[in-house]
């Protein structure tokens, strides 16, 4: 099986467990297709991206919430070398946009920006890494235009685009956009895992609404962790992940210092 086929197969395997977990909290999941295109800068490297942001409707603020609901968009992309052996991942990015829905007097829908984060998995350019950039990091900042958000929710809920308003005025006040916080590799799959854990699984066993039974949140979440880490996940790590792991092992301790390219200057 080719690298491309592996990734497409993996993406489809996430559909069922994600929907099961999301529905257990009476929320809805719009699961997009994975698409690919050739990176114009390098014909050997393909870019994989979603046909539209993955959309979660009526997600609880946390698993124990009963009254505070939000709409969540999760998006991302992968760059990898189709002809390379594992690891083939060269670069990746992901983002989360959290919106508060508000019904309007005219029957329309207003989506108000609550928070927005984007996650970078960086690779060296021509063998050189950006100075003072953690290899993997998260920053605050919006990722989608009003038009993209309107289109996603119009398709998800059957609205006309003209019925939807988007208010992203909070983008200048949600946080400092230039502070890069070191993270593990938070690609699209890892970010989905994070969202599921905090919004749908914590705490413990979550009642399966309307089913009369229980949904074993731990077992369902463990199935996502297995998909995230199993060997068939060809994007679970790339050269950058291996470099970071080698730094930690060589130093015999784990420190945020290992995330910065300047660490090599003190060895």
28-59 per-position pLDDT tens digit: 999 999 999 876 655 567 899 999 999 999 99
Q: Which residues pair with 181 in a beta bridge?
A: 138
pLDDT of residue 206: 46
Q: How confident is the model at residue 78 (pLDDT cuts 50, 70, 90)?
A: very high
102-123 pLDDT, tens digit each: 999 998 999 999 999 999 998 8
Please state the rounded mean pLDDT for residues 199-217: 57
173-206 pLDDT, tens digit each: 888 889 999 999 999 999 999 999 999 987 644 4
Residue 145: give the domain boundaries: 3-266
The answer to whether the beta carbons of residues 14 and 189 sit under 8 Å apart is yes
Domain tally for the chain? Answer: 1
Residue 265 has pLDDT above 90, yes or no: no
- Sign of torsion over alpha carbons 58, 64, 66, 68: negative
The answer to whether the beta carbons of residues 118 and 178 sit under 8 Å apart is no
User: Any idea which of 67-76, 106-115, 139-148, 195-204 has the lowest mean pLDDT?
Assistant: 195-204
CA–chain centroid gap for 214, Å, is: 27
Q: pTM higher than 0.85 for the full model?
A: yes
Residue given tokens 């289109």 in the structure block = 151
């Amino acid at each position: 099986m080719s690298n491309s086929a592996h990734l497409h197969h993996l993406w489809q395997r996430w559909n069922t467990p994600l929907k099961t977990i999301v529905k257990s909290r009476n929320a809805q999941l719009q699961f997009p297709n994975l698409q690919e295109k050739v990176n114009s800068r390098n014909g050997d490297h393909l870019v994989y991206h979603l046909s539209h942001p993955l959309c979660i409707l009526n997600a609880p603020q946390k698993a124990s919430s009963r009254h505070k609901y939000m709409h969540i968009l999760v998006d991302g992309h992968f760059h990898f070398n189709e002809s390379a052996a594992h690891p083939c991942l060269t670069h990746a990015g992901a983002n989360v946009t959290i919106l508060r829905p508000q019904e309007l007097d005219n029957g329309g829908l207003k989506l108000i920006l609550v928070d927005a984060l984007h996650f970078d998995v960086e690779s060296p350019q021509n063998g050189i890494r950006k100075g003072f950039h953690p290899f993997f990091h998260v920053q605050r900042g919006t990722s989608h235009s009003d038009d993209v958000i309107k289109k996603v929710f119009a398709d998800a809920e059957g609205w006309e685009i003209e019925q939807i308003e988007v208010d992203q005025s909070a983008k200048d006040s949600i946080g400092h956009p230039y502070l890069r916080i070191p993270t593990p590799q938070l690609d699209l799959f890892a970010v989905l895992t994070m969202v599921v854990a905090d919004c749908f699984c914590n705490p413990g066993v979550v009642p399966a609404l309307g089913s009369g039974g229980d949904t074993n949140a731990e077992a369902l979440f463990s199935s996502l962790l297995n998909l995230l880490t199993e060997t068939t996940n060809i994007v679970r790590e790339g050269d950058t992940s291996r470099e970071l792991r080698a730094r930690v092992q060589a130093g015999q301790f784990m420190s945020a210092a290992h995330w910065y390219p300047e660490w090599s200057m003190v060895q």
